[in-house]
Structure 1
């Protein structure tokens, strides 16, 4: 302890006191050699004589007695885990000051600060002021539809591996990309200053961006149209299917959501009639997150559209085409990790949540 490189300073000095004492030196002599107070030397020499090595550690300090009990902290946490409407509070979500005020109103504690509530909530990572949007599974055929999509991403169809001459295309529309002409020029970033975009703008119209993404080859084919619809979507299909290797492919699977441009059996028949080697596969209802082209659209939103500063719609189209060329030169396939096993786990969690919700509703009705 006295000569260890990683020994804390206090522990090192206490060890030196003990070693000097073992050599038969007096307390006054040890104090002079170590530069410590005589009372400090006397204290640690006496403690070591009584209890040995463990006595050189700091004793536990009692500190100030706690102002709140564990029960009070648990009651505030339980309150944070309830919706404000369930408690009669006219709030949409809890904040720490509101929880502190509610705890005092309910008599949980005579006085409690927002910082104390925040510390209690932090122990269990509770953040009732945040919220996320989500939706229950409503499609009765959710699993088989989702499995079809996930199997195609794994390059299988009905348990049979896809051949080299079979392709998977993920397609969708990004609606209403506006051309917002800022009333003052955008300022480039500088030292300690972010790029500045003027808040006011003039509207230059809007276009729809249709894109088809080859899942395995990581290649994007896109076009801009004045609006979405059956005809614009079929224009995209024709743009892709009229070129190689898709024109002569054995099968080209088109994964689409349930938008009005490609919804239902009519869209399946329409695609097959126009291109016999094209097979349309729909994602489940409210599950467009299974469509990989949505990932590409998020990249477009971050790197091309936002912040929106275009002089006119022609500039929107030019930048879109230039970005596609840039993206296709370096793109790699997305590392899709959501499998059918993950799908089963997700559905099992939703089933448990639904069962618990129904049970709570039944208890509330009975009460």
Structure 2
């Protein structure tokens, strides 16, 4: 008689249900299904040789998974961790490559604006970090840490010493607060700016309409027929725009927008109307604020910090104008451009709602704190380039 296995499998009802579920699951890995069937057969009293014959495996395989289950239960049916192939590069090499990718190429004396993976691989070998390495290996390491030195973005750090004060005052007005007091029903906040250089470009050939699986085709060649400037005052809390088209920007065109707005209700009889503007030449510094207040005593100009147009809500409206009214463009003359802009303005006023502006003073303080932390780690400047000597 064959000698029975010293490892006797006894299943609880929960273990049997779980193993039977594995054998019925269509998406279960085949190796897990096989191991579950071995254990179920062993629990039914079948010998190792009998299980091997029925399932078409060797006896050693049956013995292995019977033993593993008796020692560790269902967890014993999972593969043990494997060491895998030994690393070709030490962890220090990987760290040096990533550190080099975070430096500007000029720091290494290379006249490059940005790194690429082949250039990084050559520089690593030149420095003696490793004898050889491929660009694909460097690319894989950088992808693991989401480092992409070949990408860049433009950025301007706020350097106005009163940035927090000026920006905070604008954010308070967005929240209908000024000098710590809530605004009244007859007080209004206008976000004002101009969109210069709006071109009248006439396409030299007609566009092709869309078809299945093909977008509209716009002719790239065009003839220029001049430019104009679009001035707009956006009521932050009423989502209402008052705008006009002018031949150019400047103090006088901006003054005509002021007259157009301040002679219109409800602004003409309002207690206070706050004009949020950036530092453009049409409305720069204290002189522009005095001109506005002298002409209309209930109008008060609030200047944004330099390089903070992203706090001016009218810029969001201008983005909608560009996307929905001016792109793609095909205008025979400036009259048609002005007509399109004013028609879109009327359409916007009929359907718009105030922007869901959520950026607050607390968010501003957090942003300035993070930027201050970055400034503490300002990278060293690029070295002056020296021409090669023969």
TM-score (norm. length: structure 2) = 0.86
Is contact 1:178-1:206 (8 Å) kept? yes
Q: Compare 305-314 and 238-247 and name the one that shifted more.
A: 305-314
Q: CA deviation at 1:125?
A: 1.6
The residue aligned with 2:203 is 182
Give the aligned partner of residue 250 of structure 1: 271
Partner of 2:21: 4
Counterpart for residue 13 of structure 1:
34
| 1:310 is the counterpart of 2:331 | yes
Does structure 2 retain, via aligned residues, the 8 Å contact 1:257–1:283?
Answer: yes
Q: Deviations over 1:212-241 (max 9, x none)?
A: 100001111111111001111111111211
Question: How many Å separate the matches in 2 of 1:11 and 1:59?
Answer: 13
**What TM-score do the two structures reach when normalised by structure 1?**
0.91
Which is greater in Rg? 2
Cα separation, 2, equivalents of 1:186 and 1:211 = 31
Secondary structure at 1:3's aligned position in 2?
A: helix
1:98 corresponds to: 119
The answer on whether the counterparts of 1:2 and 1:13 sit within 8 Å (CA) in structure 2 is no
Counterpart of 1:150 (choices 171, 190, 208) is 171
Evaluate the alpha carbon distance shift between residue 38 and residue 355 of structure 1 in structure 2; reply closer, same or farther with a 3 A threshold: closer
Could you tell me which of 225, 239, 262 is aligned with 2:246? 225
TM-superposed CA distance for 1:43, in Å, is: 4.2
* Aligned partners of 1:180 and 1:202 also within 8 Å: yes
Of residues 326, 332, 355, the one that matches 2:353 is 332
- Secondary structure class of the residue paired with 1:4: helix
Whole-Å separation in 1 of the counterparts to 2:267 and 2:74: 79
1:259-278 paired onto structure 2 within 5 Å: 259-278=280-299
Alignment of 1:193 onto 2:214: yes
- The 10-residue stretch of structure 1 (151-160 or 5-14) with the greater mean CA deviation from structure 2: 5-14
Unpaired segments ≥5 residues, structure 2: 1-17, 382-390
Cα deviation code 1:316-350 (max 9, x no counterpart): 11211221122122211112222112222222233
Distance 1:52 1:337, change over 3 A: closer
Corresponding residue SS for 2:378: helix
Which position in structure 2 is the counterpart of 1:364? none
Structure 1 residue 35, shift from structure 2 partner: 5.5
Distance across 1 between alignment mates of 2:28 and 2:335 = 68
CA distance in 2, matches of 1:43, 1:353: 58
- Indicate the residue corresponding to 1:207 in structure 2: 228
Aligned residues, how many?
A: 360
After superposition, residues 42-57 of structure 1 pair within 5 angstroms as 42-48=63-69, 52-57=73-78
**CA shift at 1:305, angstroms?**
1.9
Query: In the alignment, which residue of structure 1 is the partner of 2:310?
Result: 289
Aligned-residue RMSD, C-alpha: 2.2
| Unmatched segments (≥5 aa) in structure 1 | 362-367
